[in-house]
């Protein structure tokens, strides 16, 4: 793995000490938290376009949300009532809804489509590295560039980023406790890979042990769900000031082909409770302006319900950006229910435009091009 230039880090720390107002921007790279809604979230029952309510009810006569099952954000849009806590960041301008995210000729296979989103590829393009795998080393000041809690570390894999995948901090410390440092090198590619993994574990162990020595105590009560506990671990790592710039966490499954209403309500409640607990913790610690949460999923769901009380794999979807410097509001246009293609809504914002805008605006990599011709989205307030 690539080593960090610690002389550069020392210089940055000295500059921050001399000018305290620059401390956050200089020593702590902005943090991105990717939240995968595993299985393909039904965004039509997550965010409702009230101007299309008539068509919505026709397409979803029993699956559609009644008035008491939703909460209005503004005159035109409503959220599932499980997300009612999102009204606070919305009113503070800290929540953006990115409508119609998708890509041309969308693939509806779970496995292939999540690979497309994680690699930022075209539908017929097969890449070897995740969309952040070669970006994070440019901005990271930690020995570890990213932590994945739970499934699927693909956004960070295949490139030069140093990343660690774990279930939670407690289990990870038990797992690596007996791992010994190994200075051996090899020209054998397989052995070299294994030695690199060992070094990765050693580096992560050193970083996290350094954080544990600070004895961080969270001030918020996080939900007693797997997602909530993992969000609490992410909060701890951020509070430790370890300068890890990216995290990923997953919640699901949102693959709601049948009996959707109850399951979807529970999952969205877990999502909102976990995100809002993290927000509250970081607001209190003064780190909220340095954190961006972004949801994504392999696809949305079809416009209409199926015969089993659920909905099937679709295309475009609305996703959330939440953070202290998010430029809140609506981005893109909610897809039309009147103009469907093969029973699917049509995307209007290429998901790679969102990714590129995050890299450029959030991490100040202004010249970075993820793919030629992508539009720039105005998503972040400058410092």
Rounded to whole angstroms, how far apart are CA atoms 76 and 59?
A: 19
Higher per-residue confidence, 205 vs 90: 90
Percent of the chain residues past pLDDT 70, beyond the cut: 84
Report the pLDDT value the prediction gives residue 178, as an integer from 0 to 100. Answer: 62
pLDDT at 116 over 70: yes
Rounded to whole angstroms, how far apart are CA atoms 61 and 50?
A: 15
Report the pLDDT value the prediction gives residue 206, as an integer from 0 to 100. Answer: 76
Long-range contacts of 331-336 (CB under 8 A, 24+ apart): 331/96, 331/97, 331/98, 331/99, 331/377, 331/378, 331/379, 332/98, 332/99, 332/100, 332/101, 333/99, 333/100, 334/47, 334/49, 334/52, 334/77, 334/99, 334/100, 335/99, 335/100, 336/52
Higher per-residue confidence, 187 vs 251: 251
Structural domains in the chain, sorted by start: 30-167+222-362 (3.40.720)
pLDDT at 9 over 60: no
Higher per-residue confidence, 368 vs 216: 368
Q: Kindly indicate the confidence band of residue 201, based on its pLDDT and cuts at 50, 70 and 90.
A: low
Average pLDDT over residues 202-228: 83
What does pTM read for this prediction? 0.89
pLDDT at 354 over 50: yes
Report the pLDDT value the prediction gives residue 61, as an integer from 0 to 100. Answer: 98
Report the pLDDT value the prediction gives residue 40, as an integer from 0 to 100. Answer: 98
Q: Kindly indicate the confidence band of residue 8, based on its pLDDT and cuts at 50, 70 and 90.
A: very low
Q: Kindly indicate the confidence band of residue 350, based on its pLDDT and cuts at 50, 70 and 90.
A: very high
Q: Kindly indicate the confidence band of residue 207, based on its pLDDT and cuts at 50, 70 and 90.
A: confident
Give pLDDT tens digits for 133-190. Answer: 999 999 999 989 999 999 999 999 999 999 999 999 988 878 766 665 555 554 555 4
Radius of gyration, alpha carbons of the chain: 21
Q: Kindly indicate the confidence band of residue 10, based on its pLDDT and cuts at 50, 70 and 90.
A: very low
Report which of 197, 127, 194 is spatially closest to residue 155, judged by C-alpha positions: 127
Rounded to whole angstroms, how far apart are CA atoms 313 and 370?
A: 27
pLDDT at 214 over 90: no
The phi and psi torsions of 333 (rounded to 5 degrees) equal -110, 140
Higher per-residue confidence, 326 vs 383: 326
Average pLDDT over residues 272-286: 98
């Amino acid at each position: 793995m690539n080593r960090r230039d610690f002389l550069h880090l020392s210089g940055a720390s000295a500059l921050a000490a001399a000018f305290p107002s620059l401390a956050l921007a200089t020593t702590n790279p902005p943090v991105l938290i990717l939240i995968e809604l595993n299985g393909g979230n039904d965004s039509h029952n997550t965010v409702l376009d009230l101007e299309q309510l008539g068509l919505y009810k026709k397409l979803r006569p029993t699956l559609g949300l009644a008035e008491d099952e939703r909460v209005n954000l503004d005159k035109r849009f409503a959220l599932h009532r499980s997300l009612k806590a999102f009204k606070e960041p919305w009113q503070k301008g800290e929540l953006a809804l990115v409508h119609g995210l998708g890509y041309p000729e969308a693939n509806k296979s779970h496995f292939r489509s999540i690979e497309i989103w994680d690699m930022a590829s075209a539908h017929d393009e097969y890449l070897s590295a995740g969309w952040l795998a070669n970006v994070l080393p440019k901005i990271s000041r930690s020995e570890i560039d990213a932590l994945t809690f739970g499934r699927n570390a693909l956004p960070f894999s295949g490139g030069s980023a140093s990343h660690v995948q774990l279930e939670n901090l407690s289990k990870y410390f038990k797992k690596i406790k007996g791992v010994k440092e190994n200075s051996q090198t090899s020209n054998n590619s397989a052995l070299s890979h294994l030695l690199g993994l060992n070094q990765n574990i050693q580096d992560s162990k050193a970083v996290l042990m350094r954080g544990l020595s600070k004895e961080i105590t969270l001030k918020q009560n996080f939900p007693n769900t797997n997602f909530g506990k993992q969000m609490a671990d992410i909060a701890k790592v951020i509070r430790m000031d370890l300068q890890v710039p990216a995290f990923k966490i997953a919640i699901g499954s949102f693959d709601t082909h049948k009996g959707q209403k109850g399951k979807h309500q529970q999952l969205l409640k877990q999502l909102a409770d976990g995100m809002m607990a993290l927000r509250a913790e970081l607001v209190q610690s003064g780190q909220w302006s340095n954190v961006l949460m972004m949801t994504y999923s392999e696809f949305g769901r079809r416009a209409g319900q199926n015969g089993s009380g659920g909905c099937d794999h679709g295309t475009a979807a609305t996703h959330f950006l939440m953070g202290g410097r998010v430029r809140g509001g609506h981005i893109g246009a909610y897809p039309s229910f009147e103009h469907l293609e093969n029973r699917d809504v049509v995307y209007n914002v290429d998901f790679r435009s969102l990714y590129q805008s995050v890299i450029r605006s959030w991490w100040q990599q202004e010249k970075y091009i993820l793919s030629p011709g992508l539009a720039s989205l105005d998503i972040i307030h400058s410092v």
